[in-house]
């Protein structure tokens, strides 16, 4: 924070506005006093507005930097597992060995769902999208823990965090099982977080499912790389819902609903749709030409990023993981995956893409990994929501831990002025 000021001229009036500096990143101008002067700022999409102060995640899109509590995402993906990252996001520091073990044990002890929650699944149509099921079931958790949702109570907030982190894999896996008509598989506390998810997703009661360690490692990296991404649309939705004092389960459900949008959480699914549209390696040159034609509606999905104007720092980790998974499963010659690998090579070497910094992003590689593992595209956004739950909760927890007020965006009204109702 500084005592610097910006001066805004409105007509013949000059208004002084404080300028604040964060630890890193752009300075911000405090415009809260403008309402007293009868004017508001106009910023559709809030792309130039800092709606909160946060200590959780920092992104420098120009230089391809993503930090969680100060730690680069590449180092976390290399050295941590997902639950350790959860602890970091939630508490601000990496756990000691003892704290880490205790946290892992605590999460394992909360993986079960109340048996009556099976009834919620049975209320959905068999062909319901897994995201629809997940959104409803997460919101319904508030009906089972209504006596422990005092947002001002630190201990209750911590218990809620543990429940959400632990139960989301079960909720997600059961959403898939229900949609394909298979019986629910219960969690196993002897497995790691990622292994347990794969067990509940692919296991069946009549066989002993043993998670492949390479695939479990890949899934854990997907969880880490999607754990948080600063003030995106779904995180802002969770904060806005939380500003009303709504219970945390309802807030997380609102984040899931926002993530469901194809412009947000559906990007890796769009990558698979694009690969299917291209269809054959022989068609790649034609589609590359279409992508370069500004008058053609076709776009290469999974290349470039709205935030990162350089290389997505998560993409390198995902690229290495993708190649490990494809090699492990012997899928180097899968038609769609071969198309993807050709597109990756072109994007990294073609001057058109290099000059515009349209590098493959995390969604490009995560979609390939999930497909290779055998996960249907309908589950891609569900897995994203599972991963992002800790980010949503951490931001919600940070907000309710301090002084906050209900969100109330303004508008530029362009409708009719006051008019009389016509006499009959």
Pick the more confident residue, 328 or 265: 328
Is 229 an annotated catalytic residue? Answer: no
pLDDT over threshold 70, residue 136: yes
pTM above 0.85, yes or no: yes
pLDDT grade for 211, boundaries at 50, 70 and 90? very high
110, 312, 363, 395: the catalytic one is 363
Beta-strand relationship, 13-20 and 5-10: antiparallel
Lowest mean pLDDT across 36-40, 400-404, 407-411, 417-421:
36-40
User: DSSP of 42-111, one letter per residue?
Assistant: --GGGTT------SSEEEEGGGTEEEETTEEHHHHHHH--HHHHHHHHHHSSPPPHHHHHHHHHHHHTT-
* All structural domains of the chain with their residue ranges: 5-66, 81-240+383-388, 266-373
Average pLDDT over residues 213-223: 97
Q: Are 200 and 187 in contact (CB under 8 A)?
A: yes
What mean pLDDT, rounded, does the chain reach?
Answer: 91
pLDDT at position 161 is 97
Reply yes or no on whether the pLDDT at 308 is more than 80: no
Return the structure tokens found at 97: 């060995």
pLDDT at 311: 76
Burial (CB < 10 A; 0-12, 13-18, 19+), residue 202, is buried
Q: Which of 74-88, 306-320, 391-405 has the lowest mean pLDDT?
A: 306-320
Report CA 423 to chain centroid distance, whole Å.
Answer: 54
Mean pLDDT of 128-145: 93
- C-alpha separations of 94 from 3, 91, 229, 317 in Å: 34, 8, 18, 21
Look up the CATH number of domain 81-240+383-388. 1.10.580.10
* Strand partners of residue 10: 13
The pLDDT of residue 2: 58
- At residue 345, the pLDDT reads 85
Active-site residue 226, yes or no? no
User: What is the C-alpha end-to-end distance of the chain, expressed in Å?
Assistant: 61
- Choosing among 3.40.50.9100, 3.40.50.10470, 1.10.230.10, 1.10.3720.10, the CATH entry for 266-373 is 1.10.230.10
Q: Look at residue 107 and tell me whether its pLDDT is greater than 90.
A: yes
Q: Hey, what CATH topology would domain 5-66 get?
A: Rubrerythrin, domain 2 (2.20.28)
CB-CB contact of 74 with 57 (8 Å): no
Model pLDDT for residues 344-365, shown as the tens digit of each residue: 888 788 888 888 888 888 888 8
Query: Is residue 243's pLDDT more than 70?
Result: yes
- Annotated active-site residue in 110, 226, 229, 305: 305
Q: For residues 370-374, give the mean pLDDT.
A: 91
Mean pLDDT of 159-174: 97
Confidence of residue 188 (pLDDT cuts 50, 70, 90): very high
pLDDT score at 393? 98
- pLDDT digit string, tens, across residues 50-99: 989 999 999 998 888 999 999 999 999 999 999 999 999 999 999 999 99
Contacts of 106 (CB under 8 A, 6+ apart): 162, 166
Least confident of 3-7, 76-80, 395-399, 412-416: 3-7
**How large is the average pLDDT for residues 375-398?**
95
Least confident of 256-260, 306-310, 379-383, 408-412: 306-310
222 or 312: whose pLDDT is higher?
222
How many angstroms separate the CA atoms of 204 and 208, rounded?
8
For residue 377, pLDDT over 80 is answered with yes
Average pLDDT over every residue of 103-107: 97
Please give the residue that has the higher pLDDT: either 202 or 312: 202
Write down the pLDDT at residue 103. Answer: 98
Alpha-carbon distance of 154 to 238, in angstroms, equals: 18
- Distance, in Å, from the CA atom of 107 to the CA atom of 99, rounded to the nearest integer, reads 12
């Amino acid at each position: 924070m500084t005592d610097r000021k910006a001066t805004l001229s409105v007509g013949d009036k000059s208004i002084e506005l404080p300028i604040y500096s964060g630890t890193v990143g752009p300075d911000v101008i405090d415009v809260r006093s403008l309402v007293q002067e009868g004017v508001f700022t106009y910023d559709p999409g809030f792309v130039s507005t800092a709606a909160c102060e946060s200590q959780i995640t920092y992104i420098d899109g120009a230089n391809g930097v993503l930090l969680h509590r100060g730690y680069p995402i590449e180092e976390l993906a290399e050295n941590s597992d997902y639950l350790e990252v959860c602890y970091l996001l939630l508490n601000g520091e990496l756990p000691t060995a003892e704290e880490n073990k205790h946290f892992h044990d605590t999460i394992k002890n909360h993986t079960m769902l109340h048996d009556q929650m099976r009834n919620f699944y049975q209320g959905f149509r068999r062909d319901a999208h897994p995201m629809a099921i997940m959104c409803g079931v997460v919101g319904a958790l508030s009906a089972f823990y209504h006596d422990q949702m005092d947002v001002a109570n630190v201990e209750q907030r911590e218990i809620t965090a543990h429940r959400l982190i632990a139960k989301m894999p079960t909720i997600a896996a059961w959403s898939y099982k229900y949609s394909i008509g298979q019986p629910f598989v219960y969690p196993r506390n002897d497995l790691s977080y990622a292994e347990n998810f794969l067990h509940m997703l692919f296991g069946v009661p009549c066989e002993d499912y043993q998670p492949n360690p390479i695939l479990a490692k890949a899934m854990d990296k997907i969880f880490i790389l999607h754990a948080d991404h600063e003030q995106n649309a779904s995180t802002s939705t969770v904060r806005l819902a939380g500003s009303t004092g709504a219970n945390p389960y309802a807030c997380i459900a609102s984040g899931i609903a926002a993530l469901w949008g194809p412009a947000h959480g559906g990007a890796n699914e769009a990558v698979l749709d694009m690969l299917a549209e291209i269809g054959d390696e022989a068609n790649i040159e034609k589609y590359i030409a279409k992508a370069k034609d500004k008058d053609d509606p076709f776009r290469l999905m999974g290349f470039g990023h709205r935030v990162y104007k350089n290389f997505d720092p998560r993409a390198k980790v995902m690229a290495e993981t993708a190649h490990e998974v494809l090699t492990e499963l012997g899928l180097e010659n899968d038609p769609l995956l071969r198309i993807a690998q050709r597109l990756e090579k072109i994007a990294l070497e073609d001057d058109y893409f290099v000059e515009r910094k349209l590098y493959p992003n995390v969604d490009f590689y995560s979609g390939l990994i999930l497909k290779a593992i055998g996960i249907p595209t309908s589950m891609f956004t569900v897995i994203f929501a599972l991963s992002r739950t800790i980010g949503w909760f951490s931001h919600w927890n940070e907000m309710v831990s301090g002084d906050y007020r209900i969100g109330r965006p303004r508008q530029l009204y362009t409708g009719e002025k006051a008019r009389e109702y016509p006499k009959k």
